[in-house]
Amino acid sequence: MSDDRVHNLMEKIFPYLDTVETPEKDLLSILAVLQLNPSELSTLRKAEDTEPNPDVYKSQYLTVYHLISHSDKLSIAERMSNTFRALMYTYLLEEKTDFLYEMEPELKSFIPQLILRFMESFPFNAIGQSQWDEERQKPISYARAILPSISLCNHSCDPNAVPVTMTGSSCKTAILAMKPLKPGDEIRISYKPIFYMQNHPDRFEFLKRSFYFECACEPCVKGWEMPDRELDFRFVKPEYLLNKNGAKRKTKKSKLEHEYLKQLEEELQDIKEEVEKRENLVQNLQKVSDILNNLYTQYNSLLPLAQVAQHLFKRILVFIIVGYNSCANS
């Protein structure tokens, strides 16, 4: 269905949704249903409610239909409330719009089921969309989107990839690798917690409560600890670095290794300055990529420095993909 038509339908029911503080997941679910025409709705109605098979990938609507939900873990009260709201939204669509007008009765009765299904799967699959603020210093969240291929990625508290929204006319989201990946490596994004920003009990509790799983990623299993102080875009001195098991330690590195690290820090500092001026982004991307490669292959324990390099890597990529034209002109 065209965007104009969906916008038009939403406009008719929005005043009613607004008075009852409709949750974001409900709005997304209604929007998703309104995108579908009767033949697509009919395909979904016939979709077997079993494990998705490869045919799922022939239709973008089936991939959304088969997204994971945890309905069985909701309380009866939550399910009742969701069901009631799905029925209420269908009632609004019927009374205030022509969306269900002339729709076959069996399709009509499928609408509340579909809204409910989406309401219960979208909270586990919606991906935040953000873009840089005017100074390009921090990302500002402006929407959530359902992107079934990104939903295939599992979580890690030490992710090796990150979804990045490319704004502009197409507004696409891509997964960018933040570490060198070997064939067969699992691509893991973070569902929010990152080990160097949140301690293990808090991460564990958040993931259990919000996504119903017990995280068994490397930092969680091996008990990596948070660094002494918050990491940001500053550079970290070697004595703050942690070994792989997370224990704090005095650095007893050989002189050679220490010199090498110092050199890496200096190189990163130089690159940071160039990135801030947005100069030579492509060459700098290559340099950071080499540094990251070194850090991960030889100095896996030097995570804070690697995180700084990752952050730079991601920023340069975003500059290049999203804002290269505007950067080139400025």
Number of residues that bind Zn ion (CB under 5 A): 4
If one asks whether residue 127 binds Zn ion (CB under 5 A), the answer comes out as no
**Taking CB under 5 A as the rule, does residue 157 contact Zn ion?**
yes
Binding mask 162-201 for Zn ion (x = CB under 5 A): ----------------------------------------
Q: Shortest gap between Cβ of 232 and Zn ion (angstroms)?
A: 21
Q: Taking CA 257 as the corner, what is the angle to CA 291 and CA 255, rounded to the nearest 5 degrees?
A: 150
Q: Name the residue among 96, 80, 128, 115 with its Cα closest to residue 9.
A: 96
Of 76 and 216, the one with the shorter C-beta distance to Zn ion is: 216
**DSSP of 105-135:** HHHHHHHHHHHHHHHHHGGGTEEEEEEE-TT
**Listed ranges 7-15, 102-110, 220-228, 316-324: which one lies at the site for Zn ion (CB under 5 A):** 220-228
Return the DSSP state at 104: -
- Segment lying near Zn ion (by CB under 5 A), choices 39-47, 127-135, 217-225, 292-300: 217-225
Does position 215 bind Zn ion by CB under 5 A?
A: yes
Q: Which of 161, 217, 306, 308 binds Zn ion (CB under 5 A)?
A: 217
Rule CB under 5 A: is residue 241 a binding residue for Zn ion? no
Least distance between Zn ion and beta carbon 175 (Å): 19
187 in Cβ contact with 153 (< 8 Å): yes
Q: Is 226 in the site for Zn ion (CB under 5 A)?
A: no
Beta carbon nearer to Zn ion, 98 or 186:
186
Regarding 153 and contact with Zn ion (CB under 5 A), the answer is: no
HSE, CB side, 13 Å, CA atoms: give it for residue 6.
14
Task: Compute the least distance from the CB of residue 156 to Zn ion, in Å.
Answer: 6
Encoded tokens for 277: 């001026």
The SS3 assignment for 214 reads coil
C-alpha torsion 307→309→311→316, nearest 10: -170
Task: Write out the DSSP string of 230-253.
Answer: ---SS---GGG-B-TT--B-----
Among 97-105, 156-164, 232-240, 287-295, the segment contacting Zn ion (CB under 5 A): 156-164
* Stretch near Zn ion under the rule CB under 5 A, chosen from 30-38, 98-106, 216-224, 269-277: 216-224
The DSSP secondary structure of 24-47, one letter per residue, reads HHHHHHHHHHHT--HHHHHHHHHS
10, 92 Cβ separation under 8 angstroms: no
Is residue 220 near Zn ion by the rule CB under 5 A?
A: yes
Q: Considering only 88-96, 161-169, 219-227, 242-250, which stretch makes contact with Zn ion by CB under 5 A?
A: 219-227
What is the token pair recorded at 74?
A: 């909701």
Footprint on this chain of Zn ion (rule: CB under 5 A): 157, 215, 217, 220
